[in-house]
Amino acid sequence: MTLLTHAPSRATPAAPGTGSGTGPSLRHLGPNWYAVVMGTAIVANAGAALPLHLPGLRGAYDLVWALSALMLTTLLAARTVHWVRHGDHARRQLLDPAVAPFYGCLSMALLAVGAGTLAVGRDVIGPGAALAADTLLWPLGSCIGLTAAAGIPYLMITKHRIEAGSASPVWLLPLVAPMVAAATGPALVAHLPAGPDRTAMLLVCSAMFGMSLLATLAVLPLVVTRLFHHGPLPLALTPTLFLVLGPLGQSTTAVHNLADAAAGTVAAPYAHAMSAVAVLYGVPVLGFALWWLAIAAGMVVRAFRNGMRFAMTWWAFTFPIGTCVTGAAGLARQTGSAGFVWAAVGLFAVLVTAVAVAATHTGRGLLHGRLLAPPAPPAS
């Protein structure tokens, strides 16, 4: 996702893949690159959630999971080098309101790969190793997500200079990270000792669900208001409209996963209530997500017609769609409705297409050294 600034008084860097820098460098490796890991991992995670068992699918999910794990390991190493060698640039990124929200992607990348390891990777590395990996990645991703959810808004209030009418869907990234933790944590509940430990895990995930949901409800109206009062986003940022789907699909996924984990963990009345809430919440929220998807898709078509070219923002088409897949799959599981099964399958087809397109362009950009090149200088 491109690191564009909202302030018109500052020079706007060229979208990745369009700049004319002097060559690739880790100095220009931003936290937005974790979106590539998220977008890849969600293919395996969403596929595993589908009620489909066709020959060869499981092997494909194993391959995608392994690729996402390799990408995460490589990117963590590269970003560590970035902080060690280019700490000045990394600190400037934290103080840039257009870049800082992408630090939420680190948390979600860790959580997505961890969840995929437990759901899919166990076929490759074994159940014990998969559980150990997720037991490490989930707390780490959750702590980073909680820090980003509080720290990035704090920086935006105290350090960043944000002009009126500049609200961006990117602002949702650190806020949705705890929701990803809430959606992936319930898979670990069954592996905890029965009793207080399971209950505590369920309550922690529920608290993160509420935190993320209420924070999203505070920020999302700002994004919608910005669109209605100030018109479409710049072309390169148009794909970020899909980021709104993230908290919608992920919260739907979370309530269903929490309801599944509640069975046998809390008293029957509470477990039944959580199952009812999962359906009563999930159906209207997924309906709203499909409405927003139609609007966002229309804006993307408009942007293409006006000359939008590839930028790393195209990865915004991936993870949010994947959360809608898992949300629809959860509703299919709870209701038994074939309609939600077909919705999940249809959205999964869109997800796979989006990942294939974004990955192809990203690979070409890396091969030609454009994506890590310095931004083009401002036009004189």
Asked if residue 181 has pLDDT above 90, the reply is yes
In the block, residue with structure tokens 């986003």? 233
Cβ contact 223:167 at 8 Å: yes
As a whole number, mean pLDDT of residues 354-370 equals: 93
Report the percentage of the chain scoring pLDDT > 90. 79
Q: Which residues of 335-364 are buried (b: 16+ CB within 10 A; e: fewer)?
A: eeeeebbebbbebbebbbebbeebbebbee
- Residue 340 structural domain: 26-367
Judge whether 8 lies within some domain.
no
Judge whether 104 lies within some domain.
yes
The tally of domains found in the chain comes to: 1
Q: Compute the distance between CA of residue 320 and CA of residue 324 in angstroms, rounded to an integer.
A: 7
Judge whether 14 lies within some domain.
no
Per-residue pLDDT tens for 284-323? 999 999 999 999 999 999 999 999 999 999 999 999 999 9
Q: Which of 300, 333, 332 is nearest to 317 (CA)?
A: 300
Residue 251 belongs to domain with CATH number: 1.50.10.150
Cβ contact 290:367 at 8 Å: no
Contacts with 54 (C-beta within 8 Å, 6 or more apart), sequence order: none
Per-residue pLDDT tens for 57-82? 999 999 999 999 999 999 999 999 98
Asked if residue 1 has pLDDT above 50, the reply is no
Asked if residue 162 has pLDDT above 90, the reply is no
The pLDDT confidence band at residue 246, using thresholds 50, 70 and 90, is: very high
As a whole number, mean pLDDT of residues 221-237 equals: 94
SS (H, E, C) the chain: CCCCCCCCCCCCCCCCCCCCCCCCCHHHCCHHHHHHHHHHHHHHHHHHHCCCCCCCHHHHHHHHHHHHHHHHHHHHHHHHHHHHHCHHHHHHHHCCCCCHHHHHHHHHHHHHHHHHHHHHHHHHHCHHHHHHHHHHHHHHHHHHHHHHHHHHHHHHHHCCCCCCCCCCHHHHHHHHHHHHHHHHHHHHHHHCCCCHHHHHHHHHHHHHHHHHHHHHHHHHHHHHHHHHHHCCCCHHHHHHHHHHHHHHHHHHHHHHHHHHHHCCCCCHHHHHHHHHHHHHHHHHHHHHHHHHHHHHHHHHHHHHHCCCCCCHHHHHHCHHHHHHHHHHHHHHHHHCCHHHHHHHHHHHHHHHHHHHHHHHHHHHHHHCCCCCCCCCCCCC
In the block, residue with structure tokens 């969403």? 46
Judge whether 183 lies within some domain.
yes
Judge whether 232 lies within some domain.
yes
Asked if residue 378 has pLDDT above 60, the reply is no
Judge whether 350 lies within some domain.
yes
Asked if residue 9 has pLDDT above 70, the reply is no
Better-predicted residue by pLDDT, 163 or 170? 170
In the block, residue with structure tokens 């796979």? 352
Q: What is the CA radius of gyration of the chain?
A: 20
Would you state the pLDDT for residue 8? Answer: 35
Better-predicted residue by pLDDT, 202 or 11? 202
Judge whether 373 lies within some domain.
no
Mean pLDDT computed over every residue of the chain = 90
Would you state the pLDDT for residue 380? Answer: 42
Judge whether 132 lies within some domain.
yes
Please give the structure tokens belonging to residue 193: 């000792």
